[in-house]
Amino acid sequence: MPVTEPVLCKRIPTPPWGDPKDRHVVGYDEYVKTGGYQALEKALAMKPAAVVDLIKDSQLRGRGGAGFPCGLKWTFLPEPDDGRRYLAVNCDEAEPCTFKDRLLIDFDPHLVLEGIAITCYACGLDTAYFFIRGEYRKQAKIVQNAIDEAYQHGIFGNKGSMKGKSDFAVECYMHLSAGAYICGEETGMLECIEGKRGWPRIKPPFPAVKGLFGRPTIINNVETLAAVGPIVEYGIEWWTGMGCESSVGGPPSYGPKLMGVSGHVNKPGVYEVDLGIPLSKLVNDYCGGMRGGKQFKGAIAGGVSMGVLGPDQFDAEMDFDIGRKYQVLGLGTACPTIFDQDTDMVAVARNIARFFAHESCGQCTPCREGTTWTYKLLSRIERGEGTSKDLDLLLEIAGSMGIMPGTTICGLADGANWAVRTIINKFRDEFEARVKPVLVPLGVG
């Protein structure tokens, strides 16, 4: 079932590539007139456990990058003990090439706030922190205004107790990030909200057990929460009628997905499509094709930390199986950046390495030193001063840092090494053309 009608963006009045002046923020009154907060009323008529079961059975997967089942995450919470329990809303969106959460909070913030209210009711969470990217100054004002409207109409706070439909009340606060990439890592975000340096925490304990201020905490992405209300309102069958089943025997990729497309396409922007759409269809049918009629060369799958798709992977299905099928880390944020035939992939690798070397928090030695050396080696290769041994050294460094080999606390190093290794492996000829061969003396070897 294709997404012929917008689900998450139904109240945004013009296409993503239209003139931003033609669009406006949907306020509380307009949101309610178009059916807003009906899902909250429906959820409040259910038992909290029934709402959790509904989201779990829908198999909604996290839209922030990892794709972890949302409802299953909610079940990890311990039983209430009369202490505070938190929801941390991740709107840091510092992943390069990613801008789909911004569309939601720019124009339809109450959709996210409704998802926050339903989640807090279902999980017994009494306080929500809306953590927003430091550079989103304008968006922060929009979100704060929407939060103020939600308080005025009894969605949050004790006044009205969720529109007078429940004794359960939720407080919601906005917290502006310091602007560092690492602040978007879930435990780094918790440290920031607590007023500390944005350093990721060692896990376990996991946030659901010991999170914000040492209390049980659920962490969800903005787009994930935006999907909660529609699922409650329209039901599981409606939700699972979109997206696709797994082609490799894993969990399905149900529902629509916001995909922010950038790079060498005619119409870059955010598009709402079914999960599982081939990348080529997304580019040709929605983005107006390749810019200048040039040939497709490669693409970042969904944020630079996911790695790249090669020239023969233009038809890759944009679902949560993409990592296993196309040798990338995963679907990530599902915001692809498209490269045409003239793209210098050595420069792409060097630029990505520069970003991760700059954004590493430095807490873990393999990441701090590995990202720096990766950047230095790629810079040397780009200048034409590298050797063939440097390519092997780059892959060796990439395979020696990250959560997967067990050498770092968070996944920043994994993102750095997957980006570099996929570019080198899929475009090795470009790198070899830029390096000097290492000559082995006669009689050696």
Q: Rounded to whole angstroms, how far apart are CA atoms 112 and 130? A: 10
- 176 lies in the same domain as 91: yes
Max mean pLDDT range (157-161, 182-186, 353-357, 440-444): 353-357
> Average pLDDT for residues 72-81, to the nearest whole number?
94
Phi, psi of 237 (to 5 degrees): -60, -40
pLDDT at 228 over 80: yes
Which pLDDT band holds residue 405 (cuts at 50, 70, 90)? confident
- At CA 64, angle to CA 280 and CA 74, rounded to 5? 130
Out of 120-124, 160-164, 278-282, 406-410, least confident range: 160-164
Residues 160 and 261 in one domain: no
Cα dihedral value 48, 51, 57, 63, nearest 10: -110
The answer as to whether 359 is a domain residue is yes
* 162 pLDDT above the threshold of 70: no
Whether 164 is covered by a domain: the verdict is: yes
CB environment 365-380: b (16+ within 10 A), e (fewer)? ebbbebbbbbbebbeb
How many Å apart are CA 280 and CA 226, to the nearest integer? 27
10-54 pLDDT, tens digit each: 777 655 555 556 668 889 999 999 999 999 999 999 999 999 999
- Identify any residues that bridge with 164 across adjacent strands, giving them in sequence order: none
pLDDT of the residue at 2: 47
Do 232 and 298 share a structural domain? no
If you average pLDDT over residues 278-305, what whole number do you get?
A: 94
For residues 101 and 438, the model is more confident at 101
Instruction: Report residue 399's pLDDT band, with 50, 70 and 90 as the boundaries.
Output: confident
Q: What percent of the chain has pLDDT over 90?
A: 79
Span of 43-52, 323-332, 383-392, 430-439 with lowest mean pLDDT:
430-439
The total domain count for the chain is: 3
Has residue 81 been placed in a domain? yes
For 369, the token pair is 């030193």
Q: Is the pLDDT of residue 160 over 60?
A: no
pLDDT band per the 50, 70, 90 thresholds, residue 3: low
pLDDT at 442: 57
Range of the domain at 392: 345-432
Tell whether 158 and 266 lie within a shared domain: no
Among 241, 272, 297, where does a domain finish?
241
What pLDDT score does 1 carry?
Answer: 41
Domain finish residue from 340, 371, 387? 340
Is there a domain that residue 5 lies in? no
- pLDDT at position 23 is 67
Q: What is the DSSP letter of 286?
A: I
- In three-state secondary structure terms, 298 is strand
| pLDDT for res 32 | 94
Q: Do 285 and 201 share a domain, yes or no? A: no
Residues 40 and 135 in one domain: yes
CB neighbourhood size of 161 (10 A): 17
* pLDDT for residue 314 is more than 80: yes
Q: What is the pLDDT of residue 245?
A: 93
Given pLDDT bands bounded at 50, 70 and 90, which one contains residue 7? confident
Using 50, 70 and 90 to split pLDDT, how confident is the model at 9? confident
pLDDT at residue 379 in the model: 96
Say what the pLDDT of residue 159 is. 61
Nearest Cα to Cα of residue 344 among 429, 271, 441, 270: 429
Same domain, 328 and 393: no
- Residue 216 shares a structural domain with residue 281: no
Selected residue with higher pLDDT from 81 and 7 = 81
Q: What is the 3-state secondary structure (H, E, C) of 213-239?
A: HHCCEEEEEHHHHHHHHHHHHHCHHHH
Q: Does 68 share its domain with 173?
A: yes
The mean pLDDT value for 144-164 works out to: 84
Q: For residues 76-88, give the mean pLDDT.
A: 93
Q: Per the domain annotation, does 13 fall within a domain?
A: no
The CATH number assigned to the domain holding 374 equals 1.20.1440.230
Task: Point out the domain boundary residue: 182, 214, 241.
Answer: 241
For residues 324 and 205, state if they share a domain: no
Task: Judge if 304 and 264 occupy the same domain.
Answer: yes
Q: What is the CATH number of the domain that holds 285?
A: 3.10.20.600
pLDDT band at 223; cut points 50, 70, 90: very high
Per-residue confidence (pLDDT) for residue 15, from 0 to 100: 54
CATH number of the CATH domain containing 36: 3.40.50.11540
pLDDT at residue 367, as a whole number = 93
Mean pLDDT score of the chain: 91
- Residues 321 and 200 reside in one and the same domain: no
Q: Are 216 and 210 in contact (CB under 8 A)?
A: yes
Rounded Cα–Cα distance for residues 166 and 164 (Å)? 6
In a domain, 56, yes or no: yes
First to last CA, the chain: 61
Structural domain includes residue 162: yes
Q: What is the DSSP track for 125-160?
A: --EEEEEE-TT-HHHHHHHHHHHHHHHHTTSSSSSS
Flag whether 397 is in a domain: yes
Distances (CA, A) of 133 to 48, 237, 367: 31, 34, 23
pLDDT at 22: 62
Report residue 22: phi and psi, to 5°. -85, -10
